[in-house]
Amino acid sequence: MRRRVPGTMGFMAVTIFLVIVTAFLTVMTLRSRCASDRGESESYYETKEKEMVRRTAAFLQQSGYQNSGVALTRIVDKEGNRQYTMTIHHGKIDKMDEEERENLRRKLSGLTFSSENCSFSHTFLVND
């Protein structure tokens, strides 16, 4: 017959408990780091987005489209790819033909920031 040493069951219970707590804390630390990385990434993109809107508005101002309406919309999919749409409104743009708008669209595309997982498009809000 085997004899149990007093306290062995308690020692095993404490050991199992500590292993579970350690695993839980490790998982929570990893989640926190991922959230922190996402936060840093969001901050980076937010800065780039604001700068792009500012540069676009300044370009339009210098090009004779004072007080243009400039709006940036973004869609982020679950893989982190970003799709941006810059919508611009100005009365002079309303009066342009499609070729002139396309020429302006090409110039505006030079104001985007470069990033591997981003795509950009420009649309004009035209009131007929």
What does the pLDDT look like over 1-35, one tens digit per residue?
A: 566 556 677 788 888 888 888 888 777 777 766 55
Model pLDDT, residue 2: 61
The predicted model scores a pTM of 0.66
Pick the CATH number of 8-124 from 1.10.10, 3.30.70, 3.30.300, 3.10.450: 3.30.300
Q: How far is CA 5 from CA 1, 59, 116, 128, in A?
A: 13, 82, 63, 91
Other Cβ atoms closer than 10 A to 100: 12
* Regions of the chain short of the pLDDT cut 50: none
CA dist 60 and 64 (Å) reads 6
What Rg value do the Cα atoms of the chain yield, rounded? 28
The ranges assigned to domains in the chain are 8-124
The kind and range of the H/E element at 69 are strand 69-76
Find all residues with CB under 8 Å of 71, minimum gap 6, and list them. Answer: 86, 87, 88
